[in-house]
Chain A
Amino acid sequence: MSAHRVTITVNGEPMEREIESRLLLVHFLREELGLTGTHIGCDTTSCGACTVLLDGRPAKSCTVFAVAADGAEVTTVEGLANGGLHPIQQAFMECHGLQCGFCTPGMMLTSKALIEENPDPSEADVRWGISGNLCRCTGYVNIVKAVQQAAATIRSEAGEEADHA
């Protein structure tokens, strides 16, 4: 098994490590870096609990070799907010969009990219957008509500910034 020296920028900070070629990105994050907010829920790339942003796009980190993320930027749930709560986190709390919390990090990161791509998503858009992430607790109703509320907050913040500019 060959070893590789990689540099992966995680939550804005470059992380250089010597790793085994088969190491999965999710294990790199959880075990090399101790970022345990990214979870593992299956072995078939189905559940999305391990979703992180890889160069800004949601990716299932259980199905990415860490070496394949060499040079990339990764955002995990730990990097979602700079102190305080990101509007998505705030909305998930206010709308009761989480129960056991296990799928939540992946769900929020998928939602972040969804809102960036579609700032005013309909209920159908959100359901479609999060359909690669399984939740067993909430029945999705409040997750959908949370994503729409977060999108509204982000739109109004962007509007305010534009007004100030």
Chain B
Amino acid sequence: MPECRGLGHSVLRKEDPRFLRGQGRYIDDITLPGMLYLDIARSPYAHAKITRIPEVDELGVPGVAAIITGKVLDQYKLAWMPTLMSDQQMVLPIDTVKYQQQEVAAVVATSRYAAADGVAALEGLIEYDPLPVVVDPHKALEPGATKVRDDKESNHIFHWEHGDLEATEKALADADVVVEQAMHLPRIHVASIETCGCLASWNPVEGHLTLYLTTQAPHAIRTVVALVTAHLGLAEHKIRVISPDIGGGFGGKVPVYPGYVIATAASVVTGKPVKWIEDRSENLAADSFARDYHMTAKLGAKDGKVTALKLDTVADHGYSDAAANPSKFPAGLFHVASGSYDLEAAHVAVDGVYTNKPPGGIAYRCSFRVTEAVHAIERMVDLLARESGEDPADFRLRNFIPKESFPYTSALGWEYDSGDYEAALVKAMDMIGYHELRAEQAEKRERGELMGLGISSFTEIVGAGPSKSFDILGIKMFDSAEIRIHPTGKAIARFGTKSQGQGHETTYAQIIAEELGIPPEDIAVEEGDTDTAPYGLGTYASRSTPTAGAAASIASRKIRAKAKKIAAHLLEADEADLEWEQGRFFVKGSPDRGKTIQDIAFAAYTNHPQGMEAGLEAISYYDPPNLTFPFGSYICCVDIDRGTGEVSIRRFVAVDDCGVRINPMIVDGQIHGGLTMGMAPALMEEISYDADGNIHGGNFTEYLVPTAMETPKWELGETVTPSPHHPIGAKGVGESATVGAPAAIVNAVVDALWHLGVRHVEIPITPQRVWGLLDKHGAALYR
């Protein structure tokens, strides 16, 4: 029987050989005969009337075949598209632009360079009348503010709230300590190293559209395309979406971007395949942003016990609410904000606001606004501990939800599936040498040196989701696996999710290996082609293992059930007398009398019982009974340079609990990457706008993605608390670190400066921001 490396093995990744040889097939690697190139002219203004767009002949650029404008698209009723939050977003404007770098018109040309020449010429000829701009979401809510949307009554998009306001206010009134803090999590961008793009190929003879697309959710996209183009005669069976290898997603490849729609329209208009690949500048300036939550939090404690949280938020959505959330959740899963603590009451409110900025509200490697929630609660708990005169570690240990309480219903109504928060924090403290570092800090403080320790003990919420609450535009958020065993005992498995680097080809194969005893290398895993893969909602919000991974288990178990019947037939035994060991059924009491899964697979096609259908395959559409709640405790140790304000992370210990680990190597890799994407916005990354709506941070010289030099050597630890409801006890892990890390870093910096009187610092914690605090509190040095 072949060795089967199922759960818990660091199997080398099946997808790696092609990537290592340069044989990955990313969107820009795909070419089709006669292909045209699309490039997009963009607005220099944040708000303006377009007064003139020239005709194609005026450009005088050889190779340019057409200019596509909003007016052209409007003839096909494609100038607007719906967002996931049931708002409207322009594909191309008919007469007004709403943010800087918005798509204004597109050029189709015979080569990449000709298209770029065409755009340069076009941008020089488009004329505008600038309009007043509103950038600050608080100002946008003031009476008489410039209105962003002509079709709405005000800039206020929605008010959403959750929790028991009365109980929360009462608990805060009764508290003996209450801390309050405003904090802003600024706009950031996922900045996957591959930008977005597509290749649309319309076949006019067959009325068939093939859409190669950098998408994390190919099936949902196909349905959306079918719905918005039905009036043009397209139908879902004649639309094939193919998501090729994806060079990083992190949530940025969930939305439908105008470029995809324009390229598709251009292919229909020209009858030729049309490719659109965005530049990095376009990617940063116009694709969906993340965060941009202005939060005010209040946290109270009585007798040293934390009691209530109140969290009020102004959410800047840009000119359209194009957030990528499950449809019933306009603020995502922000209401996990009570975190790891046993609160009496909590209340969360969010007001969405329009401004003259790009639309969005995607995740940045986070499950629907969980990072915002964790930032709020972990900052507040730290503040409350300090104001109560207690060490933040001790305070947390005393206030955690005790492990005996799981499954635990939080003050905001979530049922946490499992957890042992104390164990994770204690482990992190041991690993980093918490008490020794505290002693060192005290000594250093005496000498005027600044070091700080920061903790974040986060609770994540991933794996959307139970279909009773979670859907996207009505499509329930299940996910799928289809497994087919070939006669020789090899297999192919297809999924409704889509890897963007997470290693699905390996992880899923290991789950099937565990369940069926077929080695991972004997299992081909495919995703991303809507013609072949079963329907699923895609990969984001750490949902693949909780949903499609579970589906892999369930489908495998269906196969095993049939295999058992075949084995009984082959062994001439009663099914009830058979026992399973990994990869093999045998007769109880006669371990020699058995059949391997490979023997059984062969029989399924050659010698199956009379009356049974041939073949050995199964499909599962898995609707999880609950979300999974990964957690962890992170401790960060920073040193601060009093002469420059630079923060350096000396050590960072991350103890993660994601339940059962399928491939520990891949899990560690996910955490390393997640930590780096947690550090980046804490210290470096931000997209901001001046009062006129001019973007800052719109290319890689100003949007500061960390290199190996700015990134510390992460130190990882683990605890394992299985999910009680997931078939193999696993939880999601891709995003925990991004969610948990920023608060640990902020807490460490505030800790380093606490004795000076500093109580809070906003992110990104740039050297100038720290220096400003040092200067203000008389601690700046010039040496």
Listed in ascending order, the chain A residues whose CB lies under 8 Å from chain B are 20, 22-23, 27, 30-31, 35-44, 46-47, 49, 76-78, 80-81, 85, 89, 92-94, 96, 98-105, 108, 123, 126-128, 130-144
Q: Is A47's CB under 8 angstroms from B19's CB?
A: no
Q: Is B618 an interface residue (CB 8 A)?
A: no
Q: Which residue of B lies closest to A35 (CB)?
A: B22
Contacts of B665 in A (CB 8 A): 96
Q: Is A136's CB under 8 angstroms from B191's CB?
A: yes
Shortest distance in angstroms between B184's beta carbon and chain A's nearest beta carbon? 24
In the complex, how many residues of chain B place their beta carbon closer than 8 angstroms to a beta carbon of chain A? Answer: 57
Per the 8 Å Cβ criterion, residues 1-42 of B in contact with A are: 10, 12-13, 15-26, 28-29
* Centre residue among B16, B25, B279 by max chain A CB count within 10 A: B16
Per the 8 Å Cβ criterion, residues 139-162 of B in contact with A are: none
Known: A139-B714, A140-B711. A36 touches B113 (CB 8 A): no
Shortest distance in angstroms between B466's beta carbon and chain A's nearest beta carbon? 29
Shortest distance in angstroms between A153's beta carbon and chain B's nearest beta carbon? 15
Q: Is B717 an interface residue (CB 8 A)?
A: no
Q: Which 7 A-B pairs have the closest CB atoms?
A: A37-B22, A100-B501, A101-B19, A102-B247, A139-B672, A77-B22, A46-B700
A42→B191 CA distance, assembly (Å)? 10
Q: Which residue of B lies closest to A36 (CB)?
A: B29
Q: Is B23's CB under 8 angstroms from A37's CB?
A: yes
28 pairs of residues in contact across A and B, judged by CB atoms under 8 Å: A31-B112, A36-B25, A36-B28, A37-B24, A42-B280, A78-B21, A89-B20, A89-B21, A92-B20, A93-B17, A96-B666, A100-B19, A100-B193, A101-B19, A102-B26, A103-B193, A104-B19, A105-B22, A108-B20, A131-B709, A132-B707, A136-B248, A136-B250, A136-B676, A138-B672, A140-B707, A142-B668, A142-B669
Q: Is B502's CB under 8 angstroms from A38's CB?
A: no
A20→B112 CA distance, assembly (Å)? 13
Q: Is B727 an interface residue (CB 8 A)?
A: no
8 Å CB contact of A143 from B25, B247, B708: B708
A20→B700 CA distance, assembly (Å)? 27
Q: Is A41's CB under 8 angstroms from B707's CB?
A: no
Q: Is B19's CB under 8 angstroms from A139's CB?
A: no
Q: Is A123's CB under 8 angstroms from B677's CB?
A: no
A98→B700 CA distance, assembly (Å)? 21
Known: A128-B709, A139-B673, A140-B708. A98 touches B22 (CB 8 A): no
Q: Is B195 an interface residue (CB 8 A)?
A: yes
Q: Which residue of A lies closest to B710 (CB)?
A: A131
Q: Is A41's CB under 8 angstroms from B22's CB?
A: no
Q: Is B467 an interface residue (CB 8 A)?
A: no
Known: A98-B19, A139-B675. A22 touches B113 (CB 8 A): yes
Shortest distance in angstroms between B636's beta carbon and chain A's nearest beta carbon? 14
- Additional A-B contacts beyond A30-B29, A47-B193, A139-B714 (18; CB < 8 A): A27-B112, A36-B28, A40-B28, A43-B280, A77-B21, A89-B21, A96-B10, A100-B19, A100-B501, A101-B245, A126-B708, A127-B709, A128-B709, A131-B707, A134-B705, A136-B705, A138-B672, A144-B708
Q: Is B100 an interface residue (CB 8 A)?
A: no
B-side interface mostly = loop
Contacts of B699 in A (CB 8 A): 42-44, 46
A-side interface mostly = loop
Contacts of B191 in A (CB 8 A): 136
Q: Is B13's CB under 8 angstroms from A96's CB?
A: yes
Q: Which residue of A lies closest to B699 (CB)?
A: A44
Contacts of B668 in A (CB 8 A): 96, 142
Contacts of A105 in B (CB 8 A): 22
Contacts of A127 in B (CB 8 A): 708-709, 711
A123→B711 CA distance, assembly (Å)? 12
Contacts of B10 in A (CB 8 A): 96
Contacts of B705 in A (CB 8 A): 46-47, 134, 136
Q: Is A100's CB under 8 angstroms from B248's CB?
A: yes
Q: Is B677's CB under 8 angstroms from A136's CB?
A: yes
Per the 8 Å Cβ criterion, residues 665-699 of B in contact with A are: 665-666, 668-669, 672-677, 699
Q: Which residue of A lies closest to B676 (CB)?
A: A139
Contacts of B713 in A (CB 8 A): 123, 141, 144
Per the 8 Å Cβ criterion, residues 71-91 of B in contact with A are: none
A76→B190 CA distance, assembly (Å)? 27
A73→B29 CA distance, assembly (Å)? 23
Contacts of B248 in A (CB 8 A): 99-100, 102, 136-137
Known: A37-B23, A98-B16, A100-B246. A47 touches B194 (CB 8 A): no
Contacts of B714 in A (CB 8 A): 139, 141
A36→B29 CA distance, assembly (Å)? 6
Q: Is A136's CB under 8 angstroms from B28's CB?
A: no
Q: Is A134's CB under 8 angstroms from B193's CB?
A: yes
A98→B701 CA distance, assembly (Å)? 24
Contacts of B24 in A (CB 8 A): 37, 101-102
Known: A47-B700, A96-B669. A85 touches B20 (CB 8 A): yes
Contacts of A102 in B (CB 8 A): 24, 26, 192-194, 247-248, 501
Shortest distance in angstroms between A28's beta carbon and chain B's nearest beta carbon? 12
Q: Is B210 an interface residue (CB 8 A)?
A: no
Contacts of B20 in A (CB 8 A): 77, 85, 89, 92-93, 98, 101, 104, 108
A38→B677 CA distance, assembly (Å)? 24
Q: Is B281 an interface residue (CB 8 A)?
A: yes
A23→B113 CA distance, assembly (Å)? 9
Write the B259-279 contact mask toward A (1 if CB under 8 angstroms, else 0). 000000000000000000001
Q: Is A93's CB under 8 angstroms from B194's CB?
A: no
Contacts of A35 in B (CB 8 A): 22
Contacts of B708 in A (CB 8 A): 126-128, 130-131, 135, 140, 143-144
Q: Is A99's CB under 8 angstroms from B673's CB?
A: yes
Q: Is B503 an interface residue (CB 8 A)?
A: yes
* Centre residue among A27, A81, A101 by max chain B CB count within 10 A: A101
A140→B707 CA distance, assembly (Å)? 8
Q: Is B700's CB under 8 angstroms from A36's CB?
A: no
Contacts of B530 in A (CB 8 A): none
Q: Is B500 an interface residue (CB 8 A)?
A: yes
Contacts of A135 in B (CB 8 A): 193, 708
Shortest distance in angstroms between A107's beta carbon and chain B's nearest beta carbon? 10
Q: Is B16's CB under 8 angstroms from A93's CB?
A: yes
Contacts of A130 in B (CB 8 A): 707-708
